[in-house]
């Protein structure tokens, strides 16, 4: 009976030459495809065994395996879609959603080796054949036949041969595995990010004898992170997984160090560096495979974090460790969407995340995955919406948490810097006072009018030319941060340097108010000691919530009493502009998705502020055009953003 087993393929050598060598460009993407096939076979264990001296890579799994008939009818045919309806969405056990769909994953191994042995057993019955780029001519029946492997030559290294399983053997591999087992583990963890307790991936270097197991691909990353947001709820199938990640996060990473360095009465309030958010959901209408328009729920669960330091993210891998992956049906859909949603902020170099979006692999909808399963069609509506939602709800908030983490991390250093600057100022004032009170110095001043005038001018400059010379302050309610971040971008375009702006919610350290200096003391110093600056101005971003908080109310009062130049704007309703800031119909509105008239009024205000502060780089028209490139202009969904 062994001699009767014959294997046929329904494709010729031309197709193999076209797809095989060019389908994948990285050994780990190939392994990801083979691992996915094992997952679809309900395997609980996958064994990746590699010999670096012979460049042989073997992947075994303890899944359902294949009978001889299944080999020829389901495995070898090319392009037979494995998911066509609800009945084929799940694996044989009914416990997992099927990953594969296109029916070409079997060719992945041919990207690695010209000759690939495929062995399988089901309930102790063995079958095996050889996939090769050099298929022989058609047989007498007009079919392409590939070599069979005799049953007595089919052996498994880690699978019980009385049970079931499969093996892919790639000989003389074109690509090499990483020399160290830890490096190989990290690479596979990145490319197949959903190994778990019920689906373990075992690695073994047959040359060195070293081995390791992957059963949790993300906890190590979370332990290296200093900011974390998880997105989940009780209805999410990933809820327990994400809760576990949340519990593994080290909230006191930096605060414990502060407690060791500072007495209790000098400790700042501990910052919250991890958050739990609900699953992101949005209705979307899509055309199904049968041409009907149907409503679907775009549901996004997942996590996003930031590495604590550059050393943590510079690990030995073949892939960038700062990335945001999309997983669909428990399989990697696209390794990194971060370049597609970038906000061009420096903190993105530390960002890492993983989001589960099963709608991208919905069986009822057209397949939007690329042929090599390394990404999705960029213009697909559901993928575009996914990018938009992750950028708005995850990327921007995690960068804000990262800024808070950095402030807490550098608290002592910044405090020492602030104390040093204060001491230096006190020493300077003391020295100047000693000089001024010297009788000989007073006589010189009385006798020389030019010297007297010069010293008075120098004394005036002492107050105005500080370590950071501020030109504009944004007085605001912190709840409007996302909106005012856009205003900050426009001010930078107008020529204002970060050091010239006071915006306490800014992601830019230079625009903050110092290293945990008391905000009221800082604002008192700012208003009183800078009243001689003729180009100083304050932008008041007003709304109904502005008057409910002490910080903005005190800022408004100080600005009014000291008669600083002020420019009110409003974010909600015109009647939010109340005394002492009388509004007119040309008081600028600051909101997402403004119309052309509102944008022109805002551009005019910012042009006047720029001229007042001696910034002449931009015209009113160029400012208007720049605002049009931001979220402040257009059809942006303002209500959705304001309510976040």
Predicted confidence at residue 129, as pLDDT, reads 92
Could you tell me the fold of the domain covering 2-215? Heat Shock Protein 90 (3.30.565)
Predicted confidence at residue 1, as pLDDT, reads 43
8 Å CB contact between 638 and 591 = yes
466-642 to CATH, choices 3.30.70, 2.60.40, 3.90.640, 3.40.50:
3.40.50
Give the residue-averaged pLDDT of 183-188: 82
Predicted confidence at residue 194, as pLDDT, reads 60
pTM strictly above 0.75: no
* Residue-wise pLDDT tens digits, 335-372: 889 989 987 777 888 999 999 999 998 888 988 877 55
Predicted confidence at residue 450, as pLDDT, reads 60
Q: How far apart are CA 167 and CA 119, in angstroms?
A: 5
Q: How many CB atoms lie within 10 A of CB 306?
A: 28
Q: What percent of the chain stands above pLDDT 70?
A: 73
Average pLDDT, the chain: 79
8 Å CB contact between 266 and 256 = no
Looking at 54-63, 233-242, 309-318, 558-567, which range is the least confident one?
A: 558-567
Q: Is the pLDDT of residue 314 over 70?
A: no
Predicted confidence at residue 549, as pLDDT, reads 56
Per-domain residue ranges of the chain: 2-215, 220-409, 466-642
Q: What percent of the chain stands above pLDDT 90?
A: 28
Rg (Cα) of the chain, in Å, rounded? 33
**Selection from 611, 621, 601 nearest residue 496 by Cα:** 611
What Cα–Cα distance (Å) separates residue 280 from each residue in 92, 232, 378, 385, 396?
31, 8, 21, 11, 15
φ/ψ of 532, rounded to 5, equals -85, -5
Predicted confidence at residue 479, as pLDDT, reads 81
The model's confidence at residue 103, banded by pLDDT at 50, 70 and 90, is low
Give the residue-averaged pLDDT of 46-69: 93
DSSP tag of 172: S
Give the residue-averaged pLDDT of 511-518: 56
* Residue-wise pLDDT tens digits, 259-277: 999 999 889 989 999 999 9
* Residue-wise pLDDT tens digits, 200-235: 899 999 999 999 988 766 787 888 899 999 999 998
Q: How far apart are CA 564 and CA 572, in angstroms?
A: 24
Q: Is the pLDDT of residue 643 over 50?
A: no
Predicted confidence at residue 53, as pLDDT, reads 87
Q: Do domains 2-215 and 466-642 have the same CATH topology?
A: no
* Residue-wise pLDDT tens digits, 442-491: 666 566 666 556 555 544 444 444 444 567 888 887 788 899 999 999 99
**Selection from 58, 63, 48 nearest residue 212 by Cα:** 48
Predicted confidence at residue 576, as pLDDT, reads 62
The model's confidence at residue 538, banded by pLDDT at 50, 70 and 90, is confident
Give the residue-averaged pLDDT of 419-435: 74
Q: Is the pLDDT of residue 114 over 90?
A: no
Strands 165-170 and 225-231: unpaired
* Residue-wise pLDDT tens digits, 76-101: 887 655 555 555 667 887 777 676 55
């Amino acid at each position: 009976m062994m001699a009767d087993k014959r294997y046929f393929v329904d494709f010729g050598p031309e197709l193999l030459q076209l797809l095989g060598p060019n389908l994948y460009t990285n050994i780990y993407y190939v392994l990801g495809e083979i691992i996915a096939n094992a997952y679809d076979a309900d395997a609980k264990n996958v064994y990746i065994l590699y010999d670096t001296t012979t460049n042989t890579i073997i992947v075994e799994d303890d899944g359902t395996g294949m009978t001889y008939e299944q080999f020829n009818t389901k495995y070898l045919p090319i392009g037979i879609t494995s998911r066509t309806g609800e009945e084929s969405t799940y694996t044989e056990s009914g416990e997992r959603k099927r990953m594969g769909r296109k029916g070409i994953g079997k060719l992945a191994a041919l990207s690695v080796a010209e000759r690939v042995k495929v062995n399988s057993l089901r309930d102790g019955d063995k079958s095996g054949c050889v996939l090769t780029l050099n298929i022989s001519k058609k047989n007498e029946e007009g079919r392409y036949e590939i070599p069979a492997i005799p049953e007595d030559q089919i052996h498994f290294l880690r699978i019980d041969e009385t049970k079931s399983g499969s093996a892919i053997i790639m000989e003389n591999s074109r690509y090499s595995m990483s020399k160290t087992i830890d490096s190989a583990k990290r690479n596979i963890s990145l490319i197949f990010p959903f190994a778990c307790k019920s689906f373990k991936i075992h690695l073994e270097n047959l040359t060195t004898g070293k081995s390791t197991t992957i059963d949790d691909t993300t906890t190590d990353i979370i332990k290296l992170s200093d900011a974390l947001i998880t997105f989940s709820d009780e209805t999410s199938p990933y809820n327990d997984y994400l809760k576990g990640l949340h519990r593994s996060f080290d909230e006191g990473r930096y605060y414990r160090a502060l407690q060791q360095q500072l007495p209790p009465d000098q400790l700042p309030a501990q910052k919250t560096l991890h958050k739990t958010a609900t699953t992101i959901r949005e209705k979307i209408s899509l055309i199904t495979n049968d041409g009907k328009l149907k409503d679907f729920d775009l549901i996004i669960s997942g996590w996003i974090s930031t590495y604590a330091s550059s050393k943590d993210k510079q690990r030995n891998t073949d892939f960038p460790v700062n990335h945001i992956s999309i997983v669909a049906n428990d399989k990697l859909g696209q390794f990194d969407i971060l370049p597609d949603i970038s906000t061009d902020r420096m903190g993105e170099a530390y960002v890492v995340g993983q989001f589960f979006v099963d709608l991208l692999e919905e069986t009822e909808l057209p397949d939007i995955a690329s042929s090599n399963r390394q990404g999705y069609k960029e213009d697909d509506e559901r993928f575009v919406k996914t990018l938009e939602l992750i950028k708005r709800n995850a990327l921007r908030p995690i960068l804000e948490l990262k800024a808070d983490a950095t402030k807490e991390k550098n608290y002592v250093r910044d405090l020492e810097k602030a104390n040093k600057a204060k001491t230096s100022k006190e020493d300077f004032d003391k020295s100047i006072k000693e000089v001024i009170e010297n009788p000989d110095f007073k006589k010189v001043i009385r006798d020389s009018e030019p010297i007297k005038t010069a010293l008075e001018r120098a004394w005036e400059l002492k107050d105005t030319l500080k370590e950071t010379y501020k030109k504009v302050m944004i007085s605001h309610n912190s709840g409007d941060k996302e909106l005012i971040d856009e205003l900050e971008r426009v001010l930078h375009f107008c020529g204002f340097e970060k050091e010239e702006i006071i915006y306490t919610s800014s992601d830019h350290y230079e625009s903050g108010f110092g290293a945990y200096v008391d905000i009221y003391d800082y604002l008192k110093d700012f208003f009183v000691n800078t009243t001689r600056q003729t180009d100083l101005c304050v932008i008041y971003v007003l709304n109904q919530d502005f008057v409910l908080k002490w910080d903005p109310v005190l800022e408004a009062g100080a600005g009014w009493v000291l008669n600083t130049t002020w420019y009110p704007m409003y974010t909600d309703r015109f009647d939010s502009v109340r005394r002492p800031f009388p509004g007119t119909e040309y008081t600028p509105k600051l909101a997402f998705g403004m119309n052309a008239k509102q944008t022109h009024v805002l551009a005019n205000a910012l042009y006047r502020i720029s001229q007042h502060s001696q910034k002449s780089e931009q015209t009113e028209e160029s400012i208007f055009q720049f605002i049009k490139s931001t979220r402040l202009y257009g059809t942006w969904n303002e209500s959705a953003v304001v309510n976040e």
